Amino acid sequence: MATHNDSKDLVERHDGAGNEKGIGPHATNIVGASASSKIQNPLVHMTNEEMLVDVDNFAKEHGFVEIQPLLVKGALVARDPPSFASVPGITEEEKLAISNEVLHKWRQPKLLYFTIILCSIGAAVQGWDQTGSNGANLSFPDALGIPVSATLTLADGSKVPNPDAQKNQWLQGLINAGPYIASAFLGCWMSDPLNNYLGRRGCIFISAVFCALSPIGSALSQTWDQLFVTRLLLGIGMGCKGATIPIFSAENSPAAIRGALVMSWQMWTAFGIFLGTCANLAVKDTGKISWRLQFGSALLPALPLLCGIFFCPESPRWYIKKGRYQKAFASLIRLRNNELQAARDLYYIHAQLRAEAHLVNTKSNYITRFIQLFTTPRLRRATVASGTVMLAQQMCGINIIAFYSSTVFEQAGADNTKSLLASWGFGLVNFVFAWPAIWTIDTFGRRSLLLFTFPNMCWTLLAAGLCYLIPSSSTAHLGLVALFIYLFAAFYSPGEGPVPFTYSAEVFPLSHREVGMSWAVATCLFWAAVLSITFPRMLAVMSTTGAFGFYAGLNLVALVMIFLFVPETKQRTLEELDYIFAIPTSRFIAHQTGTVLPWWTKTYIFRRKIGPCPALWSFEGGGEADEEFRQEVRRASVAAAGGEEGRRGSLTGRLGAKY
């Protein structure tokens, strides 16, 4: 069994960075971070003795006495990541596992990838549910006695005005909006208590039950109000799932690839949209029951989610939040390649959450936590940022096409079959162009992707709307409309597609993560409901050109909002984001308008070489480029392999983002 002296000897042989500035194991520097804008590892200022005492107390309190030396090694790696190779007692296997986190960051345990696959299936359910109604829009209004066309065709072939067209258009929008209404006002907010009592997996299981049964009810509906009720029930499952799965993915993923793995939510939502369009095409010739099959087909992806979710490890952070440290360590072992990585992450999460407790009140009920989203400065900034990116997803106009593409293409002169084929093409483009974000979201960053793609979405959507002015007799009419809609989707998919859910899942501290994500998803789905209700009537009043032009203008408004209110979060640990959001919004806006905008103008418009843009914050010790970081890891690995004493790195702060 490990002893205190064993651990003390191990610590004394490794002099960590900042040991002359020890401020005690329970001290934090969040306030200082707000003033200096430096993101600090909460362990970096602990002396060796303080580190030993803190790890010793941690091991005794949570039943880890037998692995105390492993925890000490993990703490030393977490305190000074570049010097991992010089930690006393570290084995070659452990060195390889640590270095591979950067040199081969995609070499992760199979169980982590299984977890992400299940989460991806959950996202596909979301997309398939959207496109089931998309295809059904062409026939269910007539089948359920609420025709939306301006004229009605009588039995003798004559046409008469439809006196209920306006009312029925609103009803069609209401039915399509049903899932988003229920999600925004009920499903999203149920996720917090369900997560609290059942865990991440339990909440996802409950949501999968709703998502499996509701499509069956929709397919069997005999009246429009029955269909509306089943769509509301579907929204409960969609809301719980949408607010939980991105958190579950984020909390199980290593920081270096977290963005890429969490963004799989949107990528596989896009895949679900594509599969839904495939299903719509497959059943289009089944006659009067085609719309029933289109609604009911969304059952298929919900079944594997329902059956497989409990084979995934529960979130280690959720276990730590509940004080179940032994189970948290067991989950981390299943999600990491080596026990040292699990021990390091366990202690580092513990230290960061202890620091977080000084920033926000972590002991509060649901209502209090919700109020704190708007009253506590750190939380309010995250609330504004996540709400901005979620609102921007609806402002960009993607869902007027995702929800109504069959109708949009029909108005461009396509018949039912061509409308479904064109919608299938939209789903394919949406999915294919989501793939680049796997590599770009953690390289270029969330904010950079948004700032690049929004201007391009603006002009492509405007161009698509203007193409409706081409005479319908021209062969170019439908082709150009489809071309610019596909270009619009191609710009959306790697940017505003994956970023909102990835961003919102990571910006809130653990104590407020469920309620914060509920707020973000509710914001997104509430405005999706507004869009879904209003778009059929907007088409009738403004025409497709006017509607597309309206949303093109909203793209520019969203661009300004993102520039002013959304800080970058790439490759920061979930806990280190506390420091980023400790910076006042007014200071962030002043930096964007007074520093970033002039720098961008001089660099990209006037083509002046003036060096990199000054950062508002940096890591303690200076932020370094990824390639320099990789070289540091290589040097440390080579030195250790050659029997040399590992050299101390200068990238303590830089590596804080990786671990």
Q: Which helix (H) or strand (E) holds 632?
A: helix 626-641
Task: State phi, psi for 159 to the nearest 5 degrees.
Answer: -115, 140
**159-161 and 618-619: which strand pairing?**
unpaired
Predicted confidence at residue 362, as pLDDT, reads: 55
CB 449 within 8 A of CB 441: yes
What is the spatial distance between Cα 64 and Cα 330, in angstroms, rounded to a whole number?
A: 12
CB 400 within 8 A of CB 547: yes
Q: Which pair of tokens denotes residue 131?
A: 């496109």
* Cα angle, residue 123 at apex, residues 117 and 128 outer, rounded to 5°: 125
List for the chain the helix, strand, coil content (%; round to 5).
75, 0, 25
CB 168 within 8 A of CB 148: yes
For residue 153, what are the β-bridge partners?
Answer: 159
Side chain identity at 167, as an amino acid letter? K
Predicted confidence at residue 34, as pLDDT, reads: 39
Predicted confidence at residue 642, as pLDDT, reads: 45
CB 638 within 8 A of CB 327: no
Task: State phi, psi for 439 to the nearest 5 degrees.
Answer: -95, -30
Closest residue by Cα to residue 289 from 221, 214, 235, 210? 221
Predicted confidence at residue 641, as pLDDT, reads: 43
Side chain identity at 509, as an amino acid letter? P
What is the spatial distance between Cα 289 and Cα 293, in angstroms, rounded to a whole number?
A: 6
CB 162 within 8 A of CB 149: yes
Q: Which pair of tokens denotes residue 516?
A: 């914060």
Predicted confidence at residue 287, as pLDDT, reads: 83
What is the spatial distance between Cα 384 and Cα 374, in angstroms, rounded to a whole number?
A: 9
Q: What is the largest CA-CA distance in the chain?
A: 97
What is the spatial distance between Cα 345 and Cα 574, in angstroms, rounded to a whole number?
A: 12
**Four-point Cα dihedral 4, 9, 10, 13, nearest 10:** 160
CB 526 within 8 A of CB 415: no
Task: State phi, psi for 39 to the nearest 5 degrees.
Answer: -90, 115
What is the spatial distance between Cα 249 and Cα 417, in angstroms, rounded to a whole number?
A: 38
Side chain identity at 430, as an amino acid letter? N
Q: Which pair of tokens denotes residue 439?
A: 């590599």
Side chain identity at 620, as an amino acid letter? E
Predicted confidence at residue 358, as pLDDT, reads: 67
Predicted confidence at residue 622, as pLDDT, reads: 40
CB 151 within 8 A of CB 160: yes
What is the spatial distance between Cα 279 and Cα 69, in angstroms, rounded to a whole number?
A: 56
| Residues 571-620 pLDDT 10s | 676 556 777 888 888 999 999 999 989 998 988 888 888 888 887 766 44
What is the spatial distance between Cα 119 and Cα 78, in angstroms, rounded to a whole number?
A: 29
What is the spatial distance between Cα 388 and Cα 582, in angstroms, rounded to a whole number?
A: 18
Q: How far is CA 223 from CA 162, 175, 347, 517, 532, in A?
A: 19, 11, 57, 35, 20
Half-sphere exposure of 130 (CA within 13 A, CB side): 28
Buried-exposed string 344-380: b where 16+ CB fall within 10 A, e elsewhere: bbbbbbbbbbbbbbebbebeeeeeebbebbeebebbe
- Collect contacts of 474-478 with beta carbons under 8 A, ≥24 apart: 477/412, 477/413, 478/409, 478/412, 478/413, 478/414, 478/418, 478/422
Closest residue by Cα to residue 326 from 346, 351, 341, 344? 346
Predicted confidence at residue 490, as pLDDT, reads: 94
Domain ranges (residues) in the chain: 4-90+626-656, 110-580, 585-619
The structure's pTM equals 0.74
Predicted confidence at residue 321, as pLDDT, reads: 87
What is the spatial distance between Cα 525 and Cα 179, in angstroms, rounded to a whole number?
A: 9
Half-sphere exposure of 479 (CA within 13 A, CB side): 4
- Judged by phi (left if over 0) then psi (alpha if -120 to 50, else beta), residue 645 lies in beta
Q: Which residue has the tokens 């405005």?
A: 527
Q: How far is CA 171 from CA 228, 536, 609, 635, in A?
A: 9, 10, 57, 66
What is the spatial distance between Cα 532 and Cα 525, in angstroms, rounded to a whole number?
A: 10
Instruction: Tell me which residues of the chain have a pLDDT lower than 50.
Output: 1-2, 13, 16-39, 619-630, 632-634, 636-659
Q: Count other C-beta atoms under 10 Å from residue 404's C-beta.
A: 25
Please report the sign of the dihedral spanned by the C-alpha atoms of residue 242, residue 247, residue 252, residue 254. Answer: positive
What is the spatial distance between Cα 77 and Cα 149, in angstroms, rounded to a whole number?
A: 67
DSSP character at residue 593 = I
Q: Which residue has the tokens 């710009």?
A: 491
Closest residue by Cα to residue 619 from 649, 645, 655? 655
Predicted confidence at residue 17, as pLDDT, reads: 41
What is the spatial distance between Cα 252 and Cα 269, in angstroms, rounded to a whole number?
A: 20
Residue range 110-580 forms a domain whose CATH class is mainly alpha
